[in-house]
Amino acid sequence: MKLLFIADIVGQPGRRAVKELVPRLRRLHGLDLVVANGENAAGGSGITPKTAEEIFSSGVDIMTSGDHLWDQKEVLELLRNEARFVRPANYPPDTPGKGSTLFETPGGPCAAVLNLQGRTFMPPLDDPFRCALANVKTLRQRTKIILLDFHAEATSEKVALARMLDGQVSVVIGTHTHVQTADEQIFPGGTAFLCDAGFTGPHESVIGREIQPIVQRFLTGQPQKFEVAQGRILLQGAIVDIDELTGAARRIERVSESLVSA
């Protein structure tokens, strides 16, 4: 089984990259499942039903989220009605939406997608480590193929959680920092890992935003309006090849695909 994870989609440039590149990547790599983090898809902050549908119609099967989940009030409609959209599972139990979902690949095995959010330098949520153990135990009753999007700031938290789950999930990919790391690897138990997948959107920027207002904020400490940038659009993430019988990863490869027409 081959899956593509698409790093945080930022605004209209990120959605454009998904629309133009995902169909070709699906054909080129024979992808069975495409998962994307969409928490920054609407104007660079949050997500709406309209932007979600645009992304799904571009070839994405499942979308995850993170700490910008609540930035658009329309997200409640997604959480209540869209089975393909998941939020971090370590929100309190009565929070709308769900933290994981199952995907039936056409003619192939069932795969699970789990979303968690870190606590180090992040808004406080329930313990992602204990939440991971409980959720993975339940999901493994249905499938051995499990992808975890861990939306977290600290590299140590991401590595520690992935090491804890080695052999229990197929892949752990970190999101949130918007800077792609070069530490892709497969742990001894068969879990593929990448500390941060980067972001999908304009890279002539400061992590997706126009450069000058952010520089000005650092220089003066004064509030600025951070518009989504436009130049040098990349689709970033990772492709993982997974053994369908064991759920163990065979290969992980970083993706940083340029939108040439940008």
Domain ranges of the chain: 2-258
The pLDDT, as a whole number, for residue 142 is 96
pLDDT digits (tens, 9 = 90+) for 27-67: 999 999 999 999 999 988 999 999 999 999 999 999 999 99
Joined together, the tokens standing for residue 165 give 């789950």
CB within 8 Å of 150: residues ≥ 6 apart: 116, 117, 118, 128, 157, 158, 161, 162, 172, 173, 174, 175
Quick one: residue 228, left, alpha or beta (phi over 0 = left, psi -120 to 50 = alpha)?
Answer: beta
Q: Which CATH class is domain 2-258?
A: alpha beta
The pLDDT, as a whole number, for residue 262 is 44
- Known catalytic residues are 68
Contact 174, 163 (CB under 8 A): no
The pLDDT, as a whole number, for residue 261 is 58
Joined together, the tokens standing for residue 45 give 């902050």
Q: How far apart are CA 203 and CA 235, in angstroms?
A: 10
Joined together, the tokens standing for residue 137 give 């135990």
* Beta pairing, strands 33-37 & 62-64: parallel
Quick one: residue 22, left, alpha or beta (phi over 0 = left, psi -120 to 50 = alpha)?
Answer: alpha
Q: How far apart are CA 146 and CA 165, in angstroms?
A: 11
Q: How far apart are CA 176 and CA 154, in angstroms?
A: 10
Residues of the chain where predicted confidence (pLDDT) is lower than 50: 262
Radius of gyration from C-alpha coordinates of the chain: 17
Q: How far apart are CA 215 and CA 204, in angstroms?
A: 14
pTM over 0.85: yes
CB within 8 Å of 244: residues ≥ 6 apart: 1, 108, 109, 145
C-alpha distances (whole Å) from 86 to each of 29, 61, 224, 250 are: 25, 12, 31, 26
